[in-house]
């Protein structure tokens, strides 16, 4: 729960005031922070935030007012409250106030209970975090305190694998030189370890409680902010001052790793920590249909006022011309004799009578439907992940139909698209590939969980979790093939991994990058076990024999070199250089004699890359002693020079790394979650744009893009935005835009913000980008400039013209800002999906937040609206549950408005024939029961169970999702259409019986046209018509539908006869005075003929219109439904998405998600507990820090022969193949 985010969090940009709340505890704005260690009295003067967190919205005292305020933001609730007040006035009310207050209180209560339940769980999770224990130094002793009791200025102790409780200044640790290792997965999504180092003066404090208690240093630093990678401050202690930076700070949300203990001084606590600053506030999320309903309620209210005014004017005129003749007989009070005042009272009476155009039962029904749709998601076994016993969960019930309208998906990478697990998958050694499994006939077979694994029992130091299936590689090791042994020897020597042996033979590797951990683990299992290291030596166990190598130099990795090398002396005294890196980089530095092997290995690398594997090339070189001595002298001189040191070191590295001999290549699988490429391809066919927002490095993010088929070889161009200034970013974005739309059309494309339907149907720019596909990749530092007000519009333009957008090295706040940017500019429904605390901010900002219960904890799940265990379930959530929910809700609303306009407007027509007296057509019991009993269950059944097409066809034809994105099924036009149908139906319902009864007589010759018989005829016609209409609107019939429709008709007639029976009159003579009306009316043939005529005239025009429309202008849904009906006899056939495979020459995203600087750290001995020797033979190298590759992506078609480090490519025929198959199927059916 450390990563949970809060609405009370601090600052944000001025453009985003609704996403982040401003901290207002202090009257003044904090300009700098003063923190004195071990002095709570001093620090409390500044009223700094304590370490308590709060995600709950309410407490006992604020729940009722805040919740009611939120609920009455719905115009409908406020509307019914006003009606309730009017109904309490007897002079104008012809209906009982009871008919409004009961459903209104019911709706408010149900919603309040649901909100209270949600908030209870927030309180519970807050309590769980706030009551965690931490060791705080108080009066010279370590005492266990709850997290919420930790204060700024306290010194706390952390132990290995503990979460950091607040933002701490590192004082000392168990490691040499005050070093400690932290995992920042909850901040930036990266699982590789980061190093933090205390000041030398404080690291000497060690774990001595007395020394730490006497420490009274004062820190003056920056105020709380959201910059995760920046901290500036100064420590004042003992009349000296020491500069502080981000490398000395442990942030809340990090986990202490590979460090027994450390002590830290609390600088920021609670809501003022950097993690909390990066989190968006909880917003009251409402669907677009909810917002539209608010508008429609206002329109309906205006329509109601207009009808009331018309009828009030009619009453005034009628009273003056006709009604005045009856004043003497009716004995009215003198006050009410005035015709104008009578019209005024009539206006309010009709407002009450006609209020059922928006009955409150509509909102009760909507909540029931949403609850039912949520349970369908929870009960879906196909979204249940058995390995973790994790079902899908709808954590909110208010957003289900919005799932059918998503246009943009913002996804995290680590743990969301990937499993956050690196696996040694294949390799190529001396021109031979290993890793594939073949059957007895020599055919390649797919590797599954049932495929037998290689037996590593010959190696007592093996990692039991390691799985490999090709036994030929183990046989080569046992046969002692020299090149195979050198291959794994290189993997065991050339790295910066730190070993930890907790028990004898129980090795744990702490890798700076997961790639290196996978490679070293592979070498360990194949008999080359990396056991220990000192600054000068590396000890391996080679096939059970201990071998110690002298480590002479580490030529460290950086983004320019894209390789790492080590120089070692083996026990025989031979000098060896071992190197690994990007294949194109290593190939350029090979000896010419390797040309044939290089060609073969390159083919193998193409195969590996085509399977989405991350590749590295491995090479070695035998060094001459004299040459090496001379080179080391140059290196010593270069490492001590002040001018151009990094360039000179780089040149020396380049010099010795020439003429290497190729050993082979490795292929690591950054394991995607199951079904990720297929899911992305399916969602892309549904016209959903998927953006990846990740804290990972550019190369890592691009590699995952290729693995997921978001980036492909056949893309026209991949634009990389990596400028460091606003002008550079602006120029790169403009260049990209010109390349896409052309310079002459740039102005045109900036004005694309038109109505959505027109944009998609007629915009030639978008039609062009469907053919020409582009990708945009932007770095975090560039994104910071692009999000400024001056550049955000061009960023949106370029990004939306691209097929794929990947933002790398972004902070949690930047993720939320990108989501907010699209919400503001594109007015599209957004969905954010992630699994860590660094994703909480964007999850809360998006219209829909989805949390994956992954390896980074449950923070994202706790903040999400929906949760499940695997990314692949997302396409089912959207294309099945989302589309069905949207379809059902839209059909429900259209039908509900239709039936209520048909029901209510009969009173309007009757007003012209009853002297505008506010007399109702129906009796009061029919008005009360119509929406609650007679028509409630059939429409609920349709809203819960209806399917236009089944789930198999919903997944097989993703473009069926399109109508939801365009709001085609329920919009203002649809509302006018269904209300117009309702008005016409009400007109027919009233005037056909009225005209028929003008001259009709009973079978015995008596007159039939009494008011109650007239009311029964209209009411019966209405119930039958709306029942037939819902039957026409139902696409998927179940036993429940049949039972509810026919049952509702039966209940109507049962209640009708009961209300007009002798028995109920005997019990309640005043309430039920019309004895036998139903019986006397419905036993006449003419009444049934009138009901039949009315029903046919109401229904047949709509049947004819629908038939003609489906026949002449069929929608895609119509076509698929016909196809489904034609193939129904064959039984249900689930369409499994075919596995998407890559065939690509892409190898630039090599398996080396590494950071520079670790080579120097190792050779200096600062990170080792072994005393550093002062008799090192050679001075060791200092790594260079080169700029990241910022070149703009080259055009793929024109630069096929360019360096693969600048080429990003993959191919997938899935999209075109799927579209073609889909169109052929539908067209073939139409031809048949």
Tokens of 274: 């950097």
Tokens of 445: 């077979």
Among 245, 612, 263, residue whose Cα is nearest residue 423: 612
Which backbone phi and psi does 992 adopt, to 5 degrees? -65, -50
Q: Kindly report the three-state secondary structure assignment for every residue of 731-791.
A: HHHHHHHHHHHCHHHHHHHCCCCCCHHHHHHHCHHHHHHHHCCEEEEEEHHHHHHHCCCCC
Q: Output the CA torsion 912→916→917→920 (10° steps).
A: 50
Long-range contacts from 468-471, C-beta under 8 angstroms, 24+ separation: 468/424, 468/435, 468/522, 468/525, 469/435, 469/437, 470/434, 470/435, 470/436, 470/437
Annotation marks residue 412 as catalytic: yes
Q: Output the CA torsion 270→274→276→277 (10° steps).
A: 120
CB 1157 within 8 A of CB 621: no
Secondary structure E strands in 951-1057:
none
Residue 398 Cα to chain centre, angstroms: 16
Among 1131, 1151, 1140, residue whose Cα is nearest residue 1214: 1140
Strand partners, 234: 220, 243
C-alpha neighbours within 13 Å on the C-beta side of residue 947 = 18
Among 524, 525, 500, residue whose Cα is nearest residue 510: 500
Whole-number Å distance between alpha carbons of 532 and 1198: 49
φ/ψ region of 241 (left if φ > 0, alpha if ψ in -120 to 50, else beta) reads beta
3-class DSSP state of 707 = helix
3-class DSSP state of 390 = strand
8-state DSSP, 354: G
Whole-number Å distance between alpha carbons of 610 and 646: 36
Q: Which residues contact 1217 (CB under 8 A, 6 or more apart)?
A: none
Catalytic residue (one of 50, 115, 380, 412):
412
Q: Which residues contact 432 (CB under 8 A, 6 or more apart)?
A: none
**Reduced to 3 DSSP states, what percent helix, strand and coil does the chain have, rounded to the nearest 5?**
50, 15, 35
Whole-number Å distance between alpha carbons of 730 and 982: 55
Whole-number Å distance between alpha carbons of 716 and 1195: 6
Would you list the DSSP string of 613-629? -EEEEEEEEEEPHHHHH
Whole-number Å distance between alpha carbons of 26 and 11: 13
CB 611 within 8 A of CB 1141: yes
- Residues comprising the chain, all counted: 1232
Whole-number Å distance between alpha carbons of 402 and 794: 28
Strand partners, 509: 499
Strand partners, 422: 670
Whole-number Å distance between alpha carbons of 600 and 580: 18
Cα dihedral 282, 288, 290, 295 sign = positive
CB 410 within 8 A of CB 885: no
Strand partners, 852: 868
Q: State the catalytic residues.
A: 412
């Amino acid at each position: 729960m450390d990563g949970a985010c809060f609405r009370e969090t601090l600052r944000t940009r001025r453009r985003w005031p609704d996403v982040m709340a401003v901290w207002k505890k202090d009257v003044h704005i904090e300009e700098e922070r003063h923190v004195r260690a071990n002095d709570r009295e001093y620090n409390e003067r500044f009223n700094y935030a304590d370490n308590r967190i709060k995600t709950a919205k309410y407490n006992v005292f604020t729940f009722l007012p805040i919740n009611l305020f939120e609920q009455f933001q719905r115009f409908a609730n406020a509307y019914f409250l006003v009606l309730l007040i009017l109904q309490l006035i007897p002079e104008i009310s012809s209906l009982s106030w009871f008919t409004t207050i009961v459903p209104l209180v019911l709706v408010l209560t149900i919603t309040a209970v649901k909100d209270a339940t949600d908030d209870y769980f927030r309180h519970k999770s807050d309590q769980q975090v706030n009551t965690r224990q931490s060791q705080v130094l108080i009066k010279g002793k370590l005492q266990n305190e709850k997290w919420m009791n930790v204060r700024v200025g306290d010194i706390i102790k952390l132990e290995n694998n503990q979460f950091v409780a607040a933002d701490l200044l590192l004082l000392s640790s168990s490691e040499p030189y005050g070093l400690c290792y932290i995992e920042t997965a909850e901040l930036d999504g990266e699982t590789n370890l980061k190093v933090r180092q205390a000041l030398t003066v404080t690291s000497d404090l060690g774990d001595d409680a007395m020394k730490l208690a006497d420490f009274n240093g004062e820190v003056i630093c920056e105020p709380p902010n959201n910059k995760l990678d920046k901290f500036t401050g100064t420590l004042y202690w003992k009349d000296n001052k020491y500069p502080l930076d981000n490398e000395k700070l442990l942030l809340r949300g990090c986990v202490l790793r590979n460090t027994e203990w450390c002590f830290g001084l609390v600088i920021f606590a609670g809501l003022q920590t950097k993690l909390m600053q990066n989190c968006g506030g909880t917003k009251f999320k409402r669907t677009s249909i909810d917002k539209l309903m608010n508008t429609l309620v206002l329109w309906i209210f205006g329509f109601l006022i207009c009808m009331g005014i018309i009828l009030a004017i009619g009453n005034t005129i009628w009273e003056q011309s006709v009604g005045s003749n009856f004043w003497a007989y009716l004995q009215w009070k003198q006050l009410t004799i005035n015709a104008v005042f009578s019209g005024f009272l009539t206006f309010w009476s009709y407002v009450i009578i006609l209020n059922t155009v928006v009955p409150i039962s509509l909102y009760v029904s909507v909540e029931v439907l949403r609850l039912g749709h949520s349970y369908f998601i929870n009960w879906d076994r196909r979204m249940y992940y058995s390995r973790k016993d994790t079902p899908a969960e709808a954590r909110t019930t208010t957003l289900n139909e919005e799932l059918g309208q998503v246009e943009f998906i913002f996804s995290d990478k680590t743990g969301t698209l990937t499993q956050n697990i690196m696996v040694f998958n294949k390799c190529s050694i001396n021109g031979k590939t290993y890793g594939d499994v073949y059957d007895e006939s020599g055919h390649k077979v797919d590797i599954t969980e049932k495929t037998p694994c290689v037996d590593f029992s010959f190696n007592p130091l093996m990692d039991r979790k390691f799985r490999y299936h090709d036994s030929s590689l183990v046989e080569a090791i046992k046969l002692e093939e020299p090149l195979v042994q050198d291959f794994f020897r290189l993997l065991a020597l050339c790295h910066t991994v730190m070993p930890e042996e907790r028990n004898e033979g129980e090795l744990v590797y702490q890798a700076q990058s997961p790639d290196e951990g996978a490679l070293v683990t592979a070498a360990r299992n194949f008999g080359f076990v990396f056991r220990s290291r000192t600054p000068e030596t590396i000890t391996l166990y080679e096939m059970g024999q201990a071998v110690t190598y002298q480590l002479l130099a580490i030529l460290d990795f950086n983004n320019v070199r894209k390789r790492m090398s080590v120089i070692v002396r083996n026990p025989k005294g031979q000098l060896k250089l071992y190197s690994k890196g990007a294949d194109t980089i290593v190939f350029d530095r090979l000896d010419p004699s390797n040309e044939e092997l290089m060609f073969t290995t390159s083919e193998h690398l193409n195969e590996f890359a085509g399977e989405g594997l991350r590749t590295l090339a491995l090479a070695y070189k035998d060094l001459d002693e004299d040459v090496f001595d001379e080179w080391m002298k140059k290196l010593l001189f270069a490492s001590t020079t002040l001018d151009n040191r990094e360039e000179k070191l780089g040149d020396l590295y380049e010099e010795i790394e020439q003429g290497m001999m190729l050993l082979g290549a490795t292929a690591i699988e950054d394991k995607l979650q199951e079904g990720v490429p297929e899911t992305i391809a399916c969602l892309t066919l549904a016209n959903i744009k998927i953006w990846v927002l990740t804290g990972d490095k550019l190369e890592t993010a691009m590699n995952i893009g290729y693995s997921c088929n978001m980036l492909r070889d056949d893309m026209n161009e991949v634009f990389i935005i990596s400028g460091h200034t606003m002008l550079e970013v602006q120029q790169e974005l403009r260049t990209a835009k010109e390349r896409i739309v052309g310079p002459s059309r740039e102005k045109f494309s900036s004005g694309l913000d038109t109505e959505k339907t027109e944009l998609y149907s007629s915009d030639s720019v978008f039609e062009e980008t469907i053919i020409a596909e582009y990708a945009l990749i932007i770095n975090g530092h560039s994104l910071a400039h692009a999000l400024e007000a001056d550049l955000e519009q061009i960023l949106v333009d370029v990004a939306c013209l691209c097929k794929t957008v990947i933002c790398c090295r972004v902070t949690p706040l930047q993720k939320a800002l990108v989501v907010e940017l699209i919400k503001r500019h594109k007015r599209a429904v957004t969905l954010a999906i992630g699994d860590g605390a660094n994703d909480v901010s964007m999850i809360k900002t998006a219209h829909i937040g989805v949390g994956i219960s992954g390896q980074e904890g449950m923070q994202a799940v706790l903040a999400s609206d929906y949760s499940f265990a695997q990314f692949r379930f997302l396409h089912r959530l959207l294309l099945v549950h989302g589309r069905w929910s949207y379809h059902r809700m839209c059909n429900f609303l259209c039908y509900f408005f239709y039936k209520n306009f048909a029901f209510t407007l009969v009173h309007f027509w009757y007003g012209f024939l009853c002297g505008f007296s506010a007399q109702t057509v129906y009796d009061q019991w029919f008005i009360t029961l119509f929406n609650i009993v007679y028509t409630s269950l059939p429409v609920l059944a349709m809203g819960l169970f209806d399917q236009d097409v089944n789930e198999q066809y919903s997944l097989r034809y993703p473009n069926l999702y399109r109508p939801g994105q365009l709001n085609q099924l329920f919009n203002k036009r649809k509302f006018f259409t269904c209300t117009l149908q309702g008005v016409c139906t009400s007109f027919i319902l009233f005037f056909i019986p009225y005209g028929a009864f003008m001259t009709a007589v009973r079978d015995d010759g008596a007159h039939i046209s009494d008011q109650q018989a007239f009311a029964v005829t209209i009411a019966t016609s209405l119930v039958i018509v709306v029942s037939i209409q819902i039957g026409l609107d139902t696409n998927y019939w179940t036993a429940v539908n049949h039972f509810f429709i026919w049952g509702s008709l039966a209940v109507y007639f049962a209640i009708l006869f009961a209300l007009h029976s002798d028995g109920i009159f005997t019990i309640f003579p005043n309430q039920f005075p019309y004895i036998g009306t139903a019986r006397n009316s419905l036993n006449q043939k003419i009444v049934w003929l009138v009901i039949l005529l009315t029903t046919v005239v109401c229904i047949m025009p709509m049947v004819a219109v629908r038939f003609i429309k489906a026949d002449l202008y069929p929608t895609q849904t119509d076509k698929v439904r016909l196809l489904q009906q034609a193939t129904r006899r064959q039984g249900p056939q689930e369409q499994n998405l075919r596995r998407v495979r890559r065939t690509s020459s892409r190898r630039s995203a090599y398996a080396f998600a590494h950071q520079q600087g670790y080579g120097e750290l190792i050779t200096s001995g600062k990170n080792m507990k072994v005393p550093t020797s002062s008799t090192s033979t050679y001075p060791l190298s200092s790594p260079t820090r080169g700029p990241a590759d910022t070149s703009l992506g080259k055009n793929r078609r024109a630069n096929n022969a360019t360096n693969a480090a600048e080429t990003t490519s993959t191919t997938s025929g899935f999209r075109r193949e799927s579209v073609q198959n889909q169109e052929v199927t539908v067209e073939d059916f139409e031809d048949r």
